[in-house]
Amino acid sequence: MRKFLLLAFRNVFRNKRRTLMTLLVVAGGVAGLLLVGGFFSFMFWGLRESTIRNGLGHLQIFNAEHFRRDEAHVLENGLNNYQQITSIAQRAAHVRGVTARIEFYGMISNGQKSSIFMGSAVDPAKEKGMGFEPRVSAGRYLDGNAQGNEALIGAGLARSMSVKPGDGLTLLAVTADGALNGIDIDVTGIVTTGFKEMDDRLLTITLPAAQRLLQSERVTNLVVGLDRTENTDAVYAAILPQLGGSRQEVAIRKWIDLASYYKQVRTLFSGIFVFLGVIVFFMVVMSSANTLMMAMFERTREIGTMLAMGTPRSWLVGLFVTEAAITGVLAAICGVAAGVGLGALLNRSGIVLPPPPGATGGLSLRVIHEPGLMIGAAALVLITLAIASLMPAVRASRLRIVEALGHV
Amino acid sequence: MCKNVLWLLAGGALSGFAATLANVDAQALLRQSDILRNGSASYVVHIKITNFEGARQDEEHLYAVSQKGLDKTHVEFLSPREKGRYLLMLGDDMWIYLPDTSRPVRITPLERLTGEASNGDVARTNYAYDYDAVYLRSEKVGEAECHVLELTAKRKGSTYHKIEYWLRVEDARPVKAEFYLTSGKHTKSATFDAYLEEGGRTRLARLTIYDQIRKNSHSVLEYSGFEARELPDKLFHQGRLDRF
Amino acid sequence: MEHLVRIEMVSKRYALDHSFVTALDEASLRIQSGEFLAIAGPSGSGKSTLLNLIGCLDRPSSGRILIDDIDTGTLRPVAAAALRRDKIGFVFQTFNLIPVFTAEENVEYPLLLHRMPESERRRRVAEALASVGLSDRARHRPDLLSGGERQRVAVARAIVHRPALVLADEPTANLDTKTARQLIDLMRELNRRLGLTFVFSTHDQRLLDRTDRIVRLCDGKVIEDTDDQEVRDAQVSVVGI
């Protein structure tokens, strides 16, 4: 069998120019897929990290009831004993920080005018420690140790309330048991998220202030930050059993379960990539099917001779497919090498693309090299070439010997 | 031919006159009914509101309503858990004042005070001030012959967009009401259950408000401790006040 | 088994447009094992057709061909291929060597079909090349060999698996006279030394001078079969139509 492999190998290089053209086309397809796929990977990575860093965290811990039914009042489905759960989570490996949050809403008033707010309460020191500080366009971030109730408000809300840092406002909310309650707050900073709908409603106060306003010791959730995103699954598996014991049922969500925008983007671009793969597939088939057919015609007499000598027809099919596969392997190697090389060049080039919507800085053009992608692209062209060679191969094997021998 | 035209003109004039008469009647009727609800130009009255979910009784809430003239109301929350809170309505604007806060929060009369009672149901009961009345028809409700009026909001501070109001023919006593929002949605209905004779006057003693959307809920408002009294302007001061 | 090959009233017709072409017309022939014979005739006489039919590359339209008492017409394609592989060696006018294989690899090819172990293959290849006198050209590819050398490689390939029958269709047509004679002499020597049966076709009279038995075809019919006396008598009755 080795001789057949050798025959196939030598046949590939029979017409060097033709083989080179096929290699160029196929390798080009592979390299193209690697570059686009690598860039998409980079974008996903960037979006993933920025989503996590903008406050989502890597894992979030809730009371299981949170997902089962809606609350009639804020914190009805909140997390009890969160300090205990925090310390459990904090002890796990790879955990950089655990912080509690309360999500609530109510009315905000400057004495003349009221508006609705969508608020969150945080532990400022911990949030800062985990890198979750929002962009403060005026004033400063919250100080957990300050007197009074410090608050950040969204730019739109600040405008509608006509306040600037240093001014005061009053919050009105319905407490955990359905009563009305109010507190005064001092605006320390104004936040711009870039999304108008958020800026018109955003309010951030400290955990103790919210707990006073809502008359509850609970929190909405705990946010866990890790050292590296890749450790998410491991930490999830480690913490989950430890939280089983307590009386309230606890649910843990990974960032991927909560990052719906990220998932949508990812699905969209993955779909685009698949579409590209289909294009490459057709490109390879078109360009190689014809050359393979030509090659077969040129060897008609040779094929006739081999058949005359008693070569089984299946061996001939195998020979042609093997030749295509060898070409595919060579093309894949060249393509992967080109993709990696070009990718490295692009990474070094420092090209910066225009900023995507919502961001300020430009997006630097970078390509991530993923082994899985390389193997996938290589396999794609290999299989494509093998498939493309099937028809010429079968045609070859079906030649009538006498006619083939008489071929020019 | 001339005679027919004359008859037509006369007929038209008469019905127009009758209509105008009816209109004048409607607004006057409304004013009359307001007196039965409010009793005096300046007064204090206590209201106890009990909320019901189906047959089950929830908490009671106590309020002291001070009304001066047609457009100044101060409602103090007397229930132990709500102590220190009060509502203020001046003209078309309403605020809630919470203890430990340095400024009030602007609210609307339609928002819920407790149970089925909106802020306006307690603080804004001079309908003639807030609504234009149109006479619809007369109708019998139970034993009583009633005028049916259609009230349309004429102010920003009016609680509801439209009210259908049944007033007893003999004394313009409110018998029942149906409340409608701007969208036309029939949101609540009310029955004026009991009246008291006191000091030569008749006044509303009990009112029940029913939720027309969540058909199971209703609230009972019981009025007591009526006192006609001069009230100082500073009670209705918009700025922050310590307890009056 | 008396005769290695028996050709009994074999005809071959091809459809051409709206009519038929008769390439072979009830030809009959018997070949014994170890014979060295030439099939002669002008072009169009049916020589190649006859060789193709003997070689199981095609099927007769009527009549039958028996090789080792096996009716080749009844063989299904896979069985026919197996028969060719085991019992027949081919030499072609146009050499038909695989260009990417060296001389020795070309010679080796039939043995690969037999899945022979490598050591055995190497021995046989060396032997075959030696017997055609090309041991020193073993590593050369066909494009580095002369015409005569290429044909000798083809001969070596045709005999390496010791087939019962070697068929050569106009093997010398592309060679000059001297080389052609050398080739025929080579084949004859292999016939004598190894006892392989050789059947070749040619229209070159000079080569026919070196052949013992000649079967002549004309318009698809066997018109002459020179042989030793016994068979010649029997031949007369067949030919006398």
Question: C98 CB near a chain A CB, below 8 Å?
Answer: yes
Angle at C17 (CA atoms; ends C12, C18), nearest 5 degrees: 85
Helix (H) / strand (E) containing B209: strand B201-211
List of chain A residues whose C-beta atoms are within 8 Å of the C-beta of residue C83: 310
Contacts of A43 (CB under 8 A, 6+ apart): A265, A269, A363
Helices (H), C27-76: 47-54
Q: Integer distance in angstroms from the first to the last C-alpha of chain B?
A: 74
Domain boundaries, chain A: 2-52+262-405, 97-222
- What is d(CA B173, CA B189) in angstroms, rounded to the nearest whole number? 16
Most A-contacting residue of B61, B106, B107 (CB-CB within 10 A), to test interface: B106
For B69, the token pair is: 């003239």
- Flag if B106 and A183 touch (Cβ within 8 Å): no
C91 falls within a domain: yes
In the predicted model, is pLDDT for residue A356 greater than 70? no
- What is d(CA A75, CA A70) in angstroms, rounded to the nearest whole number? 10
Answer whether CATH 3.80.10.10 is correct for domain B33-236. no
Domain boundaries, chain B: 33-236
pTM, two decimals, is 0.70
pLDDT given at position B240: 65
- Flag if B106 and A181 touch (Cβ within 8 Å): no
Are the C-beta atoms of A310 and C84 separated by less than 8 Å? Answer: yes
For residues C42-61, one letter each, b for 16 or more C-beta atoms within 10 angstroms of the residue's C-beta and e for the rest, the string is eeebbbbbbbbbbbbbbbbb
Lowest-confidence pick of A271-275, B11-15, B56-60, C204-208? B11-15
Are the C-beta atoms of B51 and B217 separated by less than 8 Å? Answer: yes
Mean pLDDT of the region C6-18: 88
| Residue pointed to by tokens 């102590």 | B83
- What is d(CA A324, CA B6) in angstroms, rounded to the nearest whole number? 109
Q: What is the CATH number of the domain that holds C181?
A: 3.40.50.300
User: What count of residues does chain B have?
Assistant: 244
Q: Hey, which residues does A153 pair with through a beta bridge?
A: A190, A203
Q: Do chains C and A touch (3 or more CB pairs under 8 A)?
A: yes
Domain count, chain C: 1
Are the C-beta atoms of B91 and B193 separated by less than 8 Å? Answer: no
- What is d(CA C188, CA C125) in angstroms, rounded to the nearest whole number? 20
- Flag if A310 and C52 touch (Cβ within 8 Å): no
Amino acid at site C156: A
pLDDT given at position B241: 52
Res. A135 pLDDT band, cuts 50 70 90? confident
pLDDT given at position A357: 67
| pLDDT (tens digit per residue) in C185-200 | 899 899 999 999 999 9
The CA distance from B82 to the nearest CA of chain A, in Å, is: 8
Give the residue with greater pLDDT, A177 vs A242.
A242
Provide the 8-state DSSP code for B117: E
The CA distance from B101 to the nearest CA of chain A, in Å, is: 5
Are the C-beta atoms of A255 and A57 separated by less than 8 Å? Answer: yes
pLDDT given at position B244: 34
Report DSSP letters for A223-259, one per residue: EEEES-GGGHHHHHHHHHHHTSSSSS-EEEEEHHHH-
Distances (CA, A) of B98 to A167, B43, B160: 19, 24, 25
Q: Integer distance in angstroms from the first to the last C-alpha of chain C?
A: 28
What 3-state DSSP class applies to C74?
helix
The CA distance from A308 to the nearest CA of chain C, in Å, is: 7
List of chain A residues whose C-beta atoms are within 8 Å of the C-beta of residue B99: 182
C231 falls within a domain: no
List of chain B residues whose C-beta atoms are within 8 Å of the C-beta of residue A183: 100-101
Strand segments, DSSP code E, in B7-143 are 42-53, 56-68, 72-77, 86-90, 93-97, 105-107, 112-114, 117-118, 131-141
Chain A residues bordering chain C (beta-carbon distance below 8 Å): 3-4, 7, 10-11, 14, 301-302, 304-313, 401-402, 405
Q: Please tell me whether the interface predicted TM-score (ipTM) of this complex is above 0.95.
A: no
Query: Measured between CB atoms, which of A4, A306, A308 is closest to C57?
Result: A308
C66 falls within a domain: no
List of chain B residues whose C-beta atoms are within 8 Å of the C-beta of residue A179: 81-82
In the predicted model, is pLDDT for residue A99 greater than 90? yes
Say how many CA atoms lie within 13 Å of B53 toward its Cβ: 5
Cα–Cα nearest to A404, from A274, A319, A342, A313? A313
List of chain A residues whose C-beta atoms are within 8 Å of the C-beta of residue C109: 306, 309
pLDDT given at position A146: 82
Q: Report the neighbours of C using a cutoff of 3 or more CB pairs below 8 angstroms.
A: A
Are the C-beta atoms of B108 and B94 separated by less than 8 Å? Answer: yes
Kindly identify which residue of chain A lies nearest to residue B104, measuring between CA atoms.
A111
Are the C-beta atoms of B96 and B82 separated by less than 8 Å? Answer: no
Mean pLDDT of the region A378-399: 87
- Flag if A182 and B107 touch (Cβ within 8 Å): no
In the predicted model, is pLDDT for residue A313 greater than 80? yes
Query: Measured between CB atoms, which of B99, B101, B105 is closest to A114?
Result: B105
pLDDT given at position C230: 47
| pLDDT (tens digit per residue) in C117-175 | 999 999 999 999 999 999 998 999 999 999 999 999 999 999 999 999 999 999 988 88
Mean pLDDT of the region A380-396: 87
- What is d(CA A190, CA B85) in angstroms, rounded to the nearest whole number? 30
Segment 86-105 of chain B within 8 Å of chain A by CB: 96, 98-105
CA atoms C208, C211, C216, C220: torsion sign: negative
| pLDDT (tens digit per residue) in A185-227 | 999 999 998 788 889 999 999 999 999 999 899 999 999 999 9
